[in-house]
Amino acid sequence: MPDSNRIIIFDTTLRDGEQSPGCSMNLEEKLRMARLLDEMGVDVIEAGFPIASKGDFEAVEAISREIKNSTVAGLCRAIKRDIEASAEAIKAAPHKRIHTFISTSPLHMKYKLQMTPEAVLEAITESVTFARKFTDDVEWSAEDGSRTEDDFLCRCVEAAIKAGATTINIPDTVGYAMPDDYAAKFTMLRDRVPNMNRAVLSTHCHNDLGLAVANSLSAVDAGARQIECTINGIGERAGNAALEELVMAMRTRPDAMPYHNGIKTEMITKVSRTLSSITGFVVQPNKAIVGANAFAHESGIHQDGVLKHAQTYEIMTPESVGLHRSNLVMGKHSGRHAFKSKLEEMGYGDLGENAFEDAFNRFKDLADKKKQIFDEDIVALVEDETGRDNENIRFTSLVIQAGTKGPQIASIEMDVDGTRKFAMSEGNGPVDAIFKAIRMIIPHDDAVLQLYQVHAVTGGTDAQAEVTVKIEENGKIVVGQGTDADTLVASARAYIHALNKLIDKRARTAPPDVHMNEVERAGP
């Protein structure tokens, strides 16, 4: 018997999330995220928008080949070649979904699509019918659905289901809805669309008014059984509904929301940190569930209460989201075995041999400089090593002359395709000197540095620095990160990381053929 309170978790971090400026990921990074999402129990992974670029297509294809449990979805407009590209990209997935969308609100139809409502209705039937040739699992979305007139929305949904759509998604594309009116839309559809019982209703909320999670849960109360969301709530503009908030709300308040899902919430912290480290998007400290302060009790009264009885101020345990009150203290006497146990305890037990060795060596170096090594230090080190095995440009060493007297000079040594390279440059300050020296070794005159940001991994003057840089070259944006106890070394590492990604991106975004070249990035 179907379980009527089971909520399907549809994660769109790799599509709607990745679409937001500065959040782009390369193929290896998307694969890493997809593996984690699959392991965490996400039901559907929207892996990308295959027609949008060669990189998107290849990422969806690679994820489809590898992911075995989650359904892999590819997004497409109501256009034949979009649907074909999606179908081709998801071909290898054991469970595959085509997700096709078209705008249905008066505003979007008139100004964006310049189509009549009747033409939109026709496009819905045609696109869904065509998508069904490739898979039985077809999702149809009414873009700007929350601002669509009820009568027309009913006709669209009925037509989509008649053509074979098995999931009907009603996005609040511009984050305009209020919980009550959004829920009313779902109730209305369930009451009025005659074939509604043949499809699953889905929510997709943007966070422009900070209501994405509230709106999603409200829609669930009104009958939606799929929620579309992203890790850390990343996404266009103010982002999408945050997966971790939705899932923890359901887990913490089953009395108010008697729904369940397949997410292993204990993986939330790790997945959130991985995404943040890949994209360079630092999670705001007071962000619910995954912010650094989400489980911190600073005030004396609160600390006292928590010590006497955790539930005085804690509505959920840190362990339930994978945050551990550690009993393994790390320092300079900790050996390989203790380091491995620590990694396992924090969910990083699957680190490859090389990455483990590199991380261990860097941990030993750090332990020489820093008395107390916190969990955050280890996560930063490990994230800094993961996924960088194939980088062609590697940092080797750095010598800096800085201070008030004389010019600031950086001398840097790097390994480029296996050859040792050296450069020395003056600059307006040591960071400028480092970046100029790197430019001398790897010229990239068209690229512009858009962001340079330093974040202390922990408290204390001996804290590791986590540096994020964002570089833009002809519309391509990449983010690099580097961590080290020395802020200047971390800066060099971050810049080199970004350069590796830029070079990779240049290769992947070259259009594969004339046909692809015609396609504009038609993101919703």
**Least distance (Å) from Zn ion to the CB of residue 185?**
16
**Least distance (Å) from ligand KIV to the CB of residue 175?**
9
Question: Based on the number of CB atoms within 10 Å of its own CB, is 424 exposed (0-12), middle (13-18) or buried (19 or more)?
Answer: middle
| Structural tokens at position 414 | 């790097």
Q: Alpha-carbon distance 347 to 349, whole Å? A: 6
- Selected from 173, 203, 276, 491, the binder of ligand KIV by CB under 6 A is 173
Q: Is 171 in the site for ligand KIV (CB under 6 A)?
A: yes
- Residue 143 binding: pick among Zn ion, ligand KIV, none (C-beta 5-8 Å cut-off by kind): ligand KIV
**Least distance (Å) from Zn ion to the CB of residue 19?**
8
Q: Alpha-carbon distance 188 to 149, whole Å? A: 11
**Distance of CA 412 to CAs 145, 389, 401, 465, 490, Å?**
54, 21, 12, 19, 13
- Selected from 95, 147, 185, 204, the binder of ligand KIV by CB under 6 A is 204
- Residue 50 binding: pick among Zn ion, ligand KIV, none (C-beta 5-8 Å cut-off by kind): none
Q: Is 141 in the site for ligand KIV (CB under 6 A)?
A: yes
Helices and strands, number each (H, E), in the chain: 17, 14
438 phi and psi, to 5 degrees? -65, -40
| CB closest to Zn ion, residue no | 16
Q: Is 230 in the site for ligand KIV (CB under 6 A)?
A: no
**Least distance (Å) from Zn ion to the CB of residue 204?**
6
Q: Is 86 in the site for ligand KIV (CB under 6 A)?
A: no
**Distance of CA 206 to CAs 171, 342, 466, Å?**
8, 37, 29
Sheet containing strand 476-484, strands side by side: 447-456, 465-473, 476-484
How many residues bind ligand KIV (CB under 6 A)? The answer is: 10
**Interacting residues toward Zn ion by CB under 5 A:** 16
| Structural tokens at position 475 | 């519309």
- Selected from 56, 58, 143, 466, the binder of ligand KIV by CB under 6 A is 143
User: What residues between 340 and 399 interact with ligand KIV by CB under 6 A?
Assistant: none
Contact 488, 398 (CB under 8 A): yes
**Least distance (Å) from ligand KIV to the CB of residue 383?**
28
Q: Tell me how crowded residue 287 is: count the other CB atoms within 10 A of its CB.
A: 18
**Least distance (Å) from Zn ion to the CB of residue 214?**
17
Q: Is 524 in the site for ligand KIV (CB under 6 A)?
A: yes
Q: Which residues bind ligand KIV (CB under 6 A)?
A: 16, 101, 141, 143, 169, 171, 173, 204, 206, 524
